[in-house]
Structure 1
Amino acid sequence: MIRLFSKLCKCFKQISFENEINIFDKYIESFNADDLICPYCGSKHALTPFASYRRHLVTYNNNETNDNIITIYRYICSSCGHTHAILPSIIIPYSSFSFKFVVYIIHDYLVGKFNSVEAMCKHYGIAISSFYRLLKKFKEHKKLWLGLLEDKLTSSLDFIQNLKNYTFTEIETFIINFFKQNGLSCFQGKDFQETS
């Protein structure tokens, strides 16, 4: 997979993190395949369109959950033959939930916005077991990001509150740095695997 970050896309000078579908559309409209490098072999200017597939992207806007169908484009490297999905930063690999969706549901859980986990999951349209998987992944990734000592000193609520209040640029920087530091995307459920 190739993670698309706005640093590659010139249209992201001033963008809010309000509507992730608009962000996704702008990523796809503005990226240039000639700027991409094959993550498998490192070849430049070797990626060409190969295929596409549709998938769900569950977003959270205006206190409402939306299940969107988006198209993910795959490119093939002419040097090594590997194919790669183009994934903007708002998409969590191997998950139908957007980054913002996960941040908001974990925040609402930590502040006790709902009377019960069941009520919260009903509001967000998510299975209770799926929520607990996201919460577990959040705790693991918080520890990865902060380190053991800082993890103990920083409450989960403070950490998620900071993420929730970040601008789009700050979120993007966090996602990029998390990926560079750990070799996987924040909230990614599966371990990173190369696809062929």
Structure 2
Amino acid sequence: MQTFYNECLEDLNIASLECSCHHKGHLIKHGFYTRKIKTPDGIMTLKIQRFKCKHCNHTHAFLLSIIIPYSQILFHDTLSIIRSNTMQDLDQLMIENPNIDESNVSYIKKQYSMHWKQRLLSENIQLDSSLVFQCFFHFKRQF
């Protein structure tokens, strides 16, 4: 996973990125932080690149769409949890990824109900691969 992340970072044209202050070409690399990700192969540590805008001094992280900010659970597992209708579905997910437990499932379902469910319904946004783009487009924030 780190190798793939690094390859995506190398392919990134930093000069083309726009800061939330709407200035392009002002981002510079500004260190990194580590994020633990729960995968079926174990808990992996990923070094996340940070950028700083020379214009407004805000910092930003380069995250792939499969990584949800502040979460150790990957996007596709989060969607599976939200979509699950039965305990059998959740049990299967926890068997496939033993690093996800009942407390993770409960937290994700609660956060979805409190913060996202009504927003997504109001814009008729589906729980599919377009979700990240749709959340940026409609709400100016990542799911």
Which bracket does the TM-score occupy, shorter chain normalised? 0.7 to 0.9
* Distance in 2 of aligned mates of 1:102 and 1:21: 20
Task: Note the 1:11-90 alignment, pairs <5 A.
Answer: 24-39=5-20, 41-59=21-39, 64=40, 66-90=42-66
- The letter for the 2-side match of 1:52 is F
The alpha-carbon deviation at position 184 of structure 1 amounts to: 2.6
The alpha-carbon deviation at position 176 of structure 1 amounts to: 0.9
Equivalent position of 1:101 in the other structure: 77
Equivalent position of 1:129 in the other structure: 103
Partner of 2:107, secondary structure, is: helix
* Distance in 2 of aligned mates of 1:95 and 1:51: 20
Q: Structure 1 runs of 4+ off > 3 angstroms?
A: 20-26, 119-122
Equivalent position of 1:155 in the other structure: none
For the aligned residue pairs, the C-alpha RMSD in angstroms reads 2.9
> Does residue 1:147 correspond to 2:122, yes or no?
yes
* Distance in 2 of aligned mates of 1:90 and 1:52: 18
Stretches of structure 1 lacking an aligned partner (at least 5 in a row): 1-19, 152-158, 164-170, 187-196
Give the total of aligned pairs. 140
- The letter for the 2-side match of 1:185 is Q
Identical amino acids, percent of aligned pairs: 25
> Does residue 1:178 correspond to 2:141, yes or no?
no
* Distance in 1 of aligned mates of 2:18 and 2:64: 15
Stretches of structure 2 lacking an aligned partner (at least 5 in a row): none
* Distance in 2 of aligned mates of 1:71 and 1:21: 7
* Distance in 2 of aligned mates of 1:21 and 1:105: 25
Q: Deviations over 1:96-131 (max 9, x none)?
A: 111012123344x424425xx6x5685332342321
Distance 1:122 1:97, change over 3 A: closer
* Distance in 1 of aligned mates of 2:57 and 2:117: 36
**Structure with the larger RCO, 1 or 2 (CA within 8 Å, 6+ apart):** 1
- The letter for the 1-side match of 2:105 is F
Task: Give TM-score, length-normalised by structure 1.
Answer: 0.59
